[in-house]
Amino acid sequence: MAKVRVRYAPSPTGKPHIGNIRTALFNWLFARHSGGDFLIRIEDTDRERFVEGAIETQLHALKWLGVDWDEGPDIGGPFGPYYQSQRLELYKERAEALIASGHAYRCYCTKERLDKLREHQVERGLPTGYDRRCRDLPAEDVARHEAEGTPYVVRFAMPREGTVTWTDAVFGEMSWEARILDDHVLMKSDGFPTYHMANVVDDHLMEITHVIRGEEWLPSTPRHVLMYQAFGWTHPVFVHATNILGKDRRKLSKREASAEFLNYERDGYLPEAIFNFMALLGWSTGEDRDMYTREEIIERFDLPGLVGRPAILDTDKIAWYNGVYIRALPLTDLARRGLPYLQAAGLVSGTPGDAEIDYIGRVMALEQERIKTLAEAPQLADFFLLDDDKYVFDEKAVQKWFRNEGAADKLRRVRERFESLSDWAAAGLEEIVRGVAETLEIKPAEVIHPVRVALTGRTFGPGLYETIEVLGRDRSLRRLDRAIGLIDSLV
């Protein structure tokens, strides 16, 4: 059996969409599972929609996900070039060959006539499609057009009858009547090929064995099968992965934040979490498991596991995956990966010293189990990083724990004993706090809560004693003073 060769063929018309990247992931997984090749081909045949920088972001998205390629626009390969805009001659030759063999013809119809034709068809509720006017043009008309240099497109001469059949790896036996297919355009008047043409020619020339692509291509697959037949080539295995839908059950629009793949990087999701999640969206191992390493997924990936129904993107589940992966991160990794987010929020300088790095590591250790995305780090940990006179007291927290009889007294007692504590560690700190409660004959919580608000400004967060330990003696005392001052000013 021939070596598996698959491709991801983005068109540089915008930012990467999660559906496309998932398709790329499926291709890559299949290649790596089968020991085959995965290549990237840029389908830049639409000159009007080309977006500057789009190719770079596509490649960046794949790199971030950990998907690599064996051949592609940036690294070349034996089947290049990998830009369709650089393969124009190839398509032109094949188009001529198709015309010569009677499988294609030149069409001189104007855009205006085509528009009018469509309008007419829609009005009458007829199926839309080209009416084949140029298919059997008298020789003298053709000669005249050639003499006048009339612009033309090349159209595929669709068989007038018969049935096209093939087997889709996801949907099974497929059968279409050729009769309902119109003569689609192969070459545009600007000399560029259409998707159909470039795709079929390149997939054949690049020896692609499996075409794993989005479900939206299913209806044009019979055209492709017929083209392979006209060329005398065998077609690859077609694999149509279903679309990803939004919460409204509609195809995830590019406008939605969850659709734009790079948002996950920006928002602090870990690529390994996204990888795990995406592989399992529309594909299943058949096991009762949700957590898989990259290697385990490669090992299990196969075509029969592809699910034949569109999936709705569940952002809650992505967040859950991310939390699991963050909790599993070694501390140094977590600190390193969270650092840029802290810096972006202005909480850490651009060039932190060793002591600062060490401190951030200890902070992240305390926040690790409650962080869902790295982007949340600043808002969860800001009080650790802000100056002692800058961290913000939450209004409700102050209301609940500071506006009562004895609040300042509790803090003063705690402060006094903190000051004389010799070993600044969680155990000793706890002893003091509980000791104060005992002295005052109140529940520990009655002391714990105001102390937390005093030191962090809020009512929630990591364990109090660990928090105080990390904050350190000087900062803790300063903060207690600040809180006592605040309470006094309230009265």
Partner RNA sequence: GGCCCGGUAGUCUAGCGGUUAUGACGCCUCCCUUUCAAGGAGGAGAUCACGAGUUCAAUUCUCGUCCGGGCUACCA
162 is an interface residue for RNA by CB under 7 A: no
- Interacting positions 372-431 with RNA (CB under 7 A): none
Residue 292, judged by CB atoms within 10 A of its CB (0-12, 13-18, 19+), counts as: middle
342 touches 268 (CB < 8 A): no
251 is an interface residue for RNA by CB under 7 A: yes
Per CB under 7 A, the list member of 324, 357, 440, 477 interacting with RNA is 324
- As a whole number of angstroms, the distance between CA 144 and CA 372 comes to 69
116 is an interface residue for RNA by CB under 7 A: no
Per CB under 7 A, the list member of 297, 465, 479, 482 interacting with RNA is 465
Q: Which of 116, 254, 317, 390 is catalytic?
A: 254
Per CB under 7 A, the list member of 88, 137, 178, 245 interacting with RNA is 245
Q: Which amino acid is at 255?
A: R
Nearest CB to RNA, comparing residues 103 and 184: 184
CB 286: neighbour CB atoms within 10 A?
A: 9
Q: What is the largest CA-CA distance in the chain?
A: 111
- As a whole number of angstroms, the distance between CA 257 and CA 230 comes to 43
Nearest CB to RNA, comparing residues 266 and 289: 289
- As a whole number of angstroms, the distance between CA 407 and CA 409 comes to 5
Distance in Å, CB of 447 to RNA, minimum: 9
Q: Return the SS3 of 453.
A: helix
113 touches 107 (CB < 8 A): no
Tokens of residue 390, six digits: 């800058």
Annotation marks residue 390 as catalytic? no
Tokens of residue 170, six digits: 């996801």
54 is an interface residue for RNA by CB under 7 A: no
Place of tokens 């006592």: 484
Nearest CB to RNA, comparing residues 78 and 308: 308
- Interacting positions 6-45 with RNA (CB under 7 A): 9, 11, 13, 43, 45
442 is an interface residue for RNA by CB under 7 A: no
Per CB under 7 A, the list member of 120, 309, 396, 403 interacting with RNA is 309
- Find the part of the chain contacting RNA (CB under 7 A) among 75-83, 310-318, 335-343, 483-491: 310-318
Per CB under 7 A, the list member of 77, 159, 435, 444 interacting with RNA is 444
Nearest CB to RNA, comparing residues 97 and 324: 324
Encode 304-327: b = buried (16+ Cβ within 10 Å), e = exposed.
Answer: eebeeebbebeeeebbebbbebbe
Per CB under 7 A, the list member of 149, 172, 330, 350 interacting with RNA is 172
- Interacting positions 252-281 with RNA (CB under 7 A): 280-281
75 is an interface residue for RNA by CB under 7 A: no
Q: How far is CA 307 from the centre of its chain?
A: 19
- As a whole number of angstroms, the distance between CA 56 and CA 389 comes to 45
- Interacting positions 333-362 with RNA (CB under 7 A): none
Q: Return the SS3 of 240.
A: strand
Distance in Å, CB of 39 to RNA, minimum: 15
Q: How many residues bind RNA (CB under 7 A)?
A: 84
- Find the part of the chain contacting RNA (CB under 7 A) among 63-71, 176-184, 334-342, 414-422: 176-184
Per CB under 7 A, the list member of 19, 72, 323, 450 interacting with RNA is 323
Angle formed at CA 333 by CA 331 and CA 335, multiple of 5 degrees:
70
Spell out where 198-348 has E strands. 210-214, 237-241, 244-245, 311-312
Spell out where 178-326 has E strands. 185-187, 210-214, 237-241, 244-245, 311-312
DSSP 75: T
3 is an interface residue for RNA by CB under 7 A: no
- Find the part of the chain contacting RNA (CB under 7 A) among 92-100, 336-344, 415-423, 457-465: 457-465
Instruction: Write the CA distances from 188 to 43, 191, 284, 443, integer angstroms.
Output: 15, 6, 41, 81
- Interacting positions 190-229 with RNA (CB under 7 A): 190, 192-195, 215-220
138 is an interface residue for RNA by CB under 7 A: no
> Hey, CA dihedral for 149, 153, 154, 158, is it positive or negative?
negative
Tokens of residue 260, six digits: 């734009």
Per CB under 7 A, the list member of 136, 140, 316, 441 interacting with RNA is 316
One character per residue 76-115, x = contact with RNA (rule: CB under 7 A): ---------------------------------xxx--x-
Distance in Å, CB of 240 to RNA, minimum: 8
Active centre residues (catalytic): 254
